[in-house]
Amino acid sequence: MKIAIAQMEMDIDKRVNEDMAIRLAGQAARAGADLLLYPELTLTPFFPRYPAKMLLGMGISPEAFSVGTDDPVIGRFAGAAGDNNIYLCPNFYVKEEDGRLFDRSYLFTKTGRLQGSCDMHHIFTAENFYEGDYYHPAREPYRVFPTPFGNIGIVICFDRHIPESIRACALAGASLILIPAANLSDEPLSVFRSEIIAEAYQNNVFIAMANRTGDEDGLVFAGDSIIVGPDGNVIKEAGPGEELLLCDIDTGEANRSRRQRPYIAYCVPDSGVYDYLSEEGDEVRTRPAIEDVYMAMADFDAGDPKRLTHFTKVYYYAHMMAVKEHLPLRLREITEIAAIVHDIGIHKAEQSFHTTAGSVQEKLGAPLAAKLLSDMGFESELVNRVSYLVGHHHTYNNIDGIDYQILVEADFLVNMYEDDTDQRARENVFEKIFRTETGKRLFRQLWPLE
């Protein structure tokens, strides 16, 4: 894979940083990169340099630099990942609904889907790093994300100084570990460099660290982003200034390294020391993913290729519309899950009533969807909304919500093709039903005006 590191100098204006980060996503993609890693606090100046009391004295709240979990900026990065066909790993200061604040990195896939996120575990407090005033420690273990290029772990800035952090990701199967950082030019950079080299060697992993650069009112960030291989060799390093660092790596080398020099294999994982989520997962601590819903629905429709291919097509159209319409991530998840399970009632309708009528599907499908998702461990808020959408997806006179609208449009796109609907009927549907710009565009791509 080709990895890119955005060594950025941050502006005081959050939108300037956001626009620059999005531009770099396109630039990295055009250079052939598969993944772009950003520095710590991608959107803001390094506000933790000041004690929170100092900012409060100036009338600035400690959460002033944060974004909410449904902030449009998160959807914008998701869209940039999908638009540019590149994995993106930005780092934000995030405020949860319960008011707690986290130093959080996200991983977006090439399709624009949020694969997951990781928070900083160990919160450092010292001069220029008053992070204890701002961040809560992570509530979840270290996570490793499967990708076509190998398993990827994320360790945020100070966490890398705690050896168990890198090792926890390696024990969970990581081949590559991403580190967003904020290292100053007057810190012991040669020690930091040696530390990354040793950790990569000892744990048989690739490590890529993206650092900030620039002078923020006398606080000078060092740059010197680095990529190290599992043999401890430095593959690529950046200079002190702004730079898009590009590097080809073979993540399979991490596995070969473990066979030839199995250092990590001799580590006996103690759950009291190494807090991580393995590839096999942990049913208590792991929230189901979209892929889990897809496979559960595939099991439900097993042996019926017509239904399987139908919901697959509806799901992908819904996914594209949700991304392009910049839905907040939680709403996008609801939309995509509803698209996967929308026809769950059709088998029972056929078996019990010998019909596929939409009204019967709706009535039978809503409780089946609720049971499926509840049994998988989804929260009641999501279960209730998805089951509502399933129970109304053939009802068009009161579409209340963008998730509802997208589900209906996606279903129509597939149904009109599968049913070979005539032109007059299609145009009637287009005028009466389609409202999203993405849905209209997809419709015209299928059936241009004659």
Query: Higher-confidence residue: 273 or 26?
Result: 26
Band of residue 330 on the pLDDT scale cut at 50, 70, 90 = confident
Domain residue limits, the chain: 2-266, 290-446
Which phi and psi (to 5°) does residue 178 adopt?
-100, 135
**CATH homologous superfamily of 290-446:** Hypothetical protein af1432 (1.10.3210.10)
pLDDT digits (tens, 9 = 90+) for 196-216: 999 999 999 999 999 999 999
pLDDT digits (tens, 9 = 90+) for 170-191: 988 899 999 999 999 999 999 9
Tokens encoding 227:
């990529």
pTM: 0.69
Instruction: Decide if pLDDT at 423 tops 70.
Output: yes
Start-end of H helices in 31-146: 52-57, 72-84
Band of residue 278 on the pLDDT scale cut at 50, 70, 90 = low
Instruction: Decide if pLDDT at 325 tops 70.
Output: yes
Residue range 311-332: mean pLDDT, rounded: 89
Instruction: Decide if pLDDT at 450 tops 80.
Output: no
CATH number of 2-266: 3.60.110.10
Nearest to 308 by CA among 320, 294, 328: 294
Please give the pLDDT value at position 449: 87
Residue range 224-242: mean pLDDT, rounded: 97
Count of other CB atoms within 10 angstroms of residue 428: 12
pLDDT digits (tens, 9 = 90+) for 110-165: 999 999 999 999 999 999 999 999 999 998 889 899 888 989 999 999 999 999 99
Per cent of the chain over pLDDT 70 is 96
Instruction: Decide if pLDDT at 81 tops 80.
Output: yes
Nearest to 215 by CA among 79, 99, 45, 343: 45
Average predicted confidence (pLDDT) for the chain? 93
Please give the pLDDT value at position 362: 92
E strand spans, 114-192? 114-119, 125-126, 129-130, 144-147, 150-154, 176-180
Residue for token pair 């439900």: 300
Per cent of the chain over pLDDT 90 is 82
Residue range 299-314: mean pLDDT, rounded: 96
CA distance 86 to 25: 8
Residue for token pair 């590149």: 86
pLDDT digits (tens, 9 = 90+) for 100-110: 999 999 999 99
Band of residue 280 on the pLDDT scale cut at 50, 70, 90 = very low
Band of residue 356 on the pLDDT scale cut at 50, 70, 90 = confident
